[in-house]
Amino acid sequence: MSDHVNKSGREMTTMGRQRVTYGSRASAGGGGGVAASTPNIATSAQANAVLPGGMMAGDALAFGDHHMASTVPHSLRQARDNTILDLQAQLKEVLRENELLRREVEVKESKLSSSMNSIKTFWSPELKKERALRKDEVSKITVWKEQYRVVQDETQVCV
């Protein structure tokens, strides 16, 4: 680890990497290439300082306490963004499927509702009475037809 003094006069501790801002040129003996792949992980506390909650300063990054870090590596941001995009795509697909299922349920409920209504009307008291009357009429007509046939047969025998 190395210690640096920033513009405000505070001591900054870096974790063994060259202190270069993203996209800037390296000035110390590196041939002047862009140092975009080596982030500066700095804390404003000493490495062995105890933070609130009993964590050590070095533990802050390990446990995702990123407000303690000055930068998050591009690869981690990109992985996070890709994960978010994947989750958003999955959510969109699940919502679409949910909407299709909801429509299917609505169609089935409407069909069931109309069937239930027809069953209710089929078994309504008024229709029961009407069907009973028709049944009685049919049985009376059948008896009359039989009586008529018997009378016809008797008249045929007499003649």
Mean pLDDT by 10 residues, the chain (159 residues): 52 50 47 46 50 53 54 90 96 98 95 84 84 95 95 85
Is residue 78 a part of any domain in this protein? no
Do 60 and 103 sit in the same domain of this protein?
no
Other beta carbons less than 10 A from residue 108's beta carbon: 10
State pTM to two decimals.
Answer: 0.33
Is residue 41 a part of any domain in this protein? yes
Is residue 77 a part of any domain in this protein? no
